[in-house]
Amino acid sequence: MRDAIVMWRHTKMVVLVALTGAAYVAILLPFKIATLIPGFTEIRPAAGIPVVCGLLFGPAAAWGSAFGNLVGDIFGGMLGPGSIFGLVGNFLLAYVPYRMWRVLRGDRPADGSPGNLPSMIVCAVAGGLCCAVTIGFGVAALGLLPYSALTVAISLNNAVIGTIVAVILLPILYPLARSFGLLYQDILDPGEYASGQIGWAGMVLTWIGAGLGLLAAVFVALATSLATGLGVPEGKSILAPQVLIGGFGSVGIIVGAVLWSSRRNSRRNPAASHMRQAGVTRRDRRPGRGGRGPEPQLHLPRRRWARAAGGVPAPGRGQTGVPHGPHGRRQVHALPVPQRGHPRHAAGRVRR
């Protein structure tokens, strides 16, 4: 989870934390009256907000969802010891879809198109189940509520209602986030969010943990409703079998989430930092549509490119040097040559 720490270096990511938290709280509070389990959970159409924001804003959405849920508990009258596990669970509700998408789809945009719909549903369901198992285990370990009842209720809330809301909102919000340069790929350096070689192992471990926790809750719920005389433990103690299984599942989920992020190639690129400080965004250096085809014609001031290159003078007339390309190689982009008499016709010199 190194990306969830280094993101605090970027001002835009901090702003996105506040934006996600505010949107989450704004939709959470009106539905606090639609209670499923008094004092613990309610019907949550807002469960789609962490999923959508996680796919768009990355780790910033995870922190925003965690803090937003805590604020919702405070103003909704549900603040208690279980809010600590609610903080962790709602963090995973946004972080797991963001990380799982990178393992499944790589750098492909999460634009909500029909072709990406199956992968998006898988990511949303995984995030909902991880949130449910973590919160269910924590609340049951504290002896506040039976494990099976809370886990099943949160799973239905997040994995069903949240996924439906995310499918509707993502195609609407993705073009807006992309046009304003708010996608996490436009803000973070690639080494700060890249998945390691064991990303698939982390995803499998996360699914195993979430699946075991959900199966334990469903089995106990069915056994309790079908055969009341079997003496099935209530599941309000950390020593209850289903709670222990939920605990192992929660550990597997967290370990899997840690394995998704790698320290390989995590050093920041100095040239990329110079470009960002000079105001040259990744959108200015991005190849043609879909990452294919020739580079677009860049109509940027020559002085801006020289400052982005760290003070290196630009080459001859009609060209401007870029310190690195998508594969670390030096690139030269052609610019229109000014006509004679044009005020910028200065034989390729950059005025300091």
Contact 206, 249 (CB under 8 A): no
Q: What is the pTM of this model?
A: 0.72
Determine the pLDDT at residue 44.
Answer: 80
Q: Please tell me whether residues 225 and 315 are part of one structural domain.
A: no
Q: Please tell me whether residues 222 and 280 are part of one structural domain.
A: no
Q: State which of 205, 239, 260 marks the end of a domain.
A: 260
Q: Please tell me whether residues 194 and 323 are part of one structural domain.
A: no
Q: Which 8-state DSSP code applies to residue 325?
A: -
Which amino acid belongs to residue 317?
Answer: R
**Residue range of the domain that includes 10:** 3-260
Q: Please tell me whether residues 71 and 115 are part of one structural domain.
A: yes
Is 225 among the domain residues?
yes
Is 339 among the domain residues?
no
The pair of three-digit structure tokens given for residue 342, joined into one six-digit string: 């044009």
Check residues 200 and 312 and name the one with the higher pLDDT: 200
Q: Please tell me whether residues 61 and 125 are part of one structural domain.
A: yes
Is 265 among the domain residues?
no
Is 197 among the domain residues?
yes
Residue spans of alpha helices (H) in the chain: 3-6, 11-28, 48-57, 59-76, 82-105, 117-141, 147-155, 163-179, 184-187, 190-193, 199-226, 241-260, 270-277, 282-285, 302-308
Confidence of residue 306 (pLDDT cuts 50, 70, 90): very low
Q: Please tell me whether residues 294 and 252 are part of one structural domain.
A: no
Q: State which of 202, 229, 260 marks the end of a domain.
A: 260
Determine the pLDDT at residue 339.
Answer: 53
Is 344 among the domain residues?
no
Q: Please tell me whether residues 284 and 226 are part of one structural domain.
A: no
Mean confidence (pLDDT) of the chain: 77
161 Cβ contact list (under 8 Å, min separation 6): 43, 44, 45, 47, 48
Contact 90, 68 (CB under 8 A): yes
Q: Please tell me whether residues 195 and 79 are part of one structural domain.
A: yes
Is 348 among the domain residues?
no
Determine the pLDDT at residue 43.
Answer: 78
Is 307 among the domain residues?
yes
Q: Please tell me whether residues 155 and 205 are part of one structural domain.
A: yes
Q: Please tell me whether residues 96 and 228 are part of one structural domain.
A: yes
Is 137 among the domain residues?
yes
Q: Please tell me whether residues 222 and 130 are part of one structural domain.
A: yes
Q: Please tell me whether residues 232 and 278 are part of one structural domain.
A: no
Longest dimension (CA), the chain: 96
CA distance 280 to 274: 9
Confidence of residue 160 (pLDDT cuts 50, 70, 90): confident
The pair of three-digit structure tokens given for residue 233, joined into one six-digit string: 């433990």
The total number of structural domains that make up the chain: 2
For the chain, percent of residues with pLDDT exceeding 90: 36
